[in-house]
């Protein structure tokens, strides 16, 4: 299912969250998609989505810190 974290090993040591877990995170899946671990902000954000955006009944809006995405950026593959 999960191929790799896009943050490890470049993730700063200070990024461990409660319980010593390495979160939030962006994970590459074996099917080529990505999974995001972050704070679920669906309830407070769903009514504030910009025009053209939506959140289906089986989806959640997840917040990740800017630093998580910028640290993962070099490991995100180019489109094929």
Tell whether the model's pLDDT for residue 17 goes beyond 80: no
- Name the pLDDT band for 63 (thresholds 50, 70, 90): very high
Q: Once rounded to an integer, what is the mean pLDDT over residues 44-54?
A: 97
Query: What pTM was estimated for this model as a whole?
Result: 0.79
Tell whether the model's pLDDT for residue 11 goes beyond 80: no
As a whole number of angstroms, the distance between CA 72 and CA 10 comes to 8
Q: Is residue 80 part of a domain?
A: no
Residue with tokens 């954000």: 45
Q: Is residue 30 part of a domain?
A: yes
Q: Which domain holds residue 63?
A: 2-75
Burial class for 20, CB neighbours closer than 10 Å (0-12, 13-18, 19+): exposed
Mean pLDDT of the chain: 87
Q: Is residue 52 part of a domain?
A: yes
Q: Once rounded to an integer, what is the mean pLDDT over residues 30-39?
A: 94
SS3 of 8, please?
coil
Apex CA 60: angle with CA 24 and CA 74, to 5°? 40
């Amino acid at each position: 299912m999960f191929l790799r974290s896009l943050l490890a090993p470049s993730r700063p040591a200070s990024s461990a969250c409660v319980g010593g877990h390495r979160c939030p995170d962006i994970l590459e899946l074996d099917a080529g998609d990505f999974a995001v671990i972050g704070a679920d902000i669906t309830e407070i954000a769903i009514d504030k989505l910009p025009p053209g955006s939506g959140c289906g009944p089986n989806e959640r809006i997840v917040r990740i810190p800017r630093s998580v995405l910028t640290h993962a950026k070099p490991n995100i593959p180019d489109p094929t």
